[in-house]
Amino acid sequence: MATKSKPRYAAIRFNDRPIKNVLADPESFVLEPGENTADYEEKPDRRLDELYPDIADYRVVSTDRFIGEADKAIEEQRLWSRTWLLAGFSSDLKEKGDWFKFDIGPQSLIVVRSSPGDVSAFYNVCKHRGNELVQDDFGSGFDCFTCIVHSWRYSLKGKNVRVTDRESFSREALGENLDLTPVSVREWNGMVFVNLSEDPMPFEEYYGDLLPMLASYRIDEMFVIKELTVEIPANWKTMYSVFNETYHAHATHPQAKLMFDDHFVQYDFYPNGHNRNLFALGVVSERWPDQRFINAALAFMMDEVGLKASRFKGDATQVRRAMQKAKRENEPFGMSYEGFTDNQLTDDWNPSLFPNVTLNMHPEGILVMRFRPHPTDPEKGFWDNIVLARKLADGRRPPAYMGADPDADVTGETRPAREHADVADPPSSELLIQDLDNMVTFHRGLKSKGLKGKIVFSEQERRIQQFLAELDLYLNNEK
């Protein structure tokens, strides 16, 4: 277990002062926009209880939702086979013949740039006897896919172009459809999505009103600078829930109280299970004893954008807006912020894409968290940690809070390999290691008889409530 950070922050973990006017109804809070705003910053006009009239049923739930084995087969049939899933990014499919492998539970897919303007996706399995065609994570420059066992061959469009020793097969065998089985795929705004359904919900309908906000970050200009996959001894739903609320931040990430507001957060909900949190960076949490002193964390963030705390005329309450102004006027990271709202320049915009992705979005780049089920064991899952960045002028690096490794190539010239790490020693940032610890201890604790089979959620955990409500629509075959 990676618990090095727990004793490090023991002195400040529970030093909170009581928050005045705690948000009993977090949905009522709206983060004040700056002078530069946009329609996609506005709060949606429907509340969670309008989208899910039975949402109150998800304030107390059974622990079996997260540890039981019964749901695994139903999830594979009714959830993973019917939802749009983020498979990867266009930057990994630059040229014809570039491809990557995407695994979801027991299903493995090949996603390939099959022509200059087209992406195709197929099940990663030879139609002869079921051997997987590719085992690597990525490939480039391919003109076909050839099975290593008997050399059957398929075009980039999935068509069978070679049956070795065709004459030795009977008419019945050759009468079968021997082309690769295709999967619906959609390349949009630099992201590549797949859907295993034979009749999927239209992509634009599935993501709906969330698309304008996602489009504003111009992900098609970004590329991967870090990718890490860790196998976790926890069910994917437990893992996903750890990243789907900010209520944990003050205790799990006590160091973050110095630079972001963990309580007064904007909660927005959308149809089809999607949601977002907008939370302010460059401010001090109201839990922190001193609200006005410019602490070391704020001073570091100010320094990154060219502001010197020693010369700053205001106090901590004025830092966030000053940082927004400095970034827009001085472009300290070597990029223009035209088209972004003021709040986007500092704040963490954190959408969750149902069923298994969260994004921490910034103009300079995005942290992508994806949670996937284990192919055979419901007691395990995969946590994908992907950092996207755009090319900044003069080789400048993105802000430190994005989590880029010190030696990461931020130019886009070299695509890093996907790292596979053990849960005991993951090469990741301190904040994420703290969350990783929670995934493991949550899963263990959910089996305790002390819970008597039930757990409860606060209204700060409404995103998890929505997740479970939407999940039930699929598991109950209502979608």
User: What domains lie within the chain, and their CATH numbers?
Assistant: 5-83+209-475 (3.90.380.10), 85-200 (2.102.10.10)
Residue bearing tokens 């500092």:
346
b/e burial code for range 148-165 (CB count within 10 A of at least 16 → b): eeeebbbbbbbebeebee
* Token pair of 98 as six digits: 């570039």
Contact predicate 20/286, CB 8 Å: yes
What six digits make up the tokens of 144? Answer: 């076909």
**CA-based nearest residue to 440, from 234, 230, 231:** 234
Q: What pairs with residue 146 in β-bridges?
A: 153
DSSP 31: P
The contacts of residue 385 (CB under 8 Å, 6+ apart) are: 226, 227, 228, 229, 230, 367, 368, 369, 428, 432
Listed in sequence order, the residues at least 6 apart from 8 whose beta carbon sits closer than 8 Å to its beta carbon are none
What residues in the chain have per-residue pLDDT under 70?
1-6, 427
Q: In this predicted structure, what is the pLDDT of residue 474?
A: 97
Nearest-angstrom CA–CA distance, 265 and 276? 10
Query: Could you give the 3-state DSSP secondary structure of residue 449?
Result: helix
351: helix, strand or coil: strand
CA–CA separation, 110 and 93 (whole Å): 12
460, HSE (Cβ side, Cα atoms, 13 Å)? 16
Rounded Cα distance, 60 and 90, in Å: 41
Give phi and psi for 319, each to the nearest 5: -70, -45
- CA distance linking residue 186 with residue 174, whole number of Å: 31
Supply the pLDDT for residue 6.
61
Q: Where are the alpha helices (DSSP H) in 208-261?
A: 211-216, 236-242, 249-252
- Residue 227's CB is within 10 A of a number of other CB atoms, namely 22
- Beta bridge mates, 112: 99, 120
| 410 CB-near residues (< 8 Å, 6+ apart) | 225, 389, 391, 392, 395, 396, 397, 398, 404
Tokens of 405: 């490794």
| Whole-angstrom distance, CA of residue 125 vs CA of residue 148 | 11
Comparing CA positions, the residue from 375, 368, 438, 431 lying closest to residue 400 is 431
How many other CB atoms are there within 10 angstroms of residue 81's CB atom? 17
pTM summary value: 0.96
End-to-end C-alpha distance for the chain, whole angstroms:
39
DSSP code of residue 395: G
Beta bridge partners of 73: none
441 Cβ neighbours under 8 A, 6+ residues apart: none
Measure the CA dihedral 347/393/189/107, to 10°.
-90
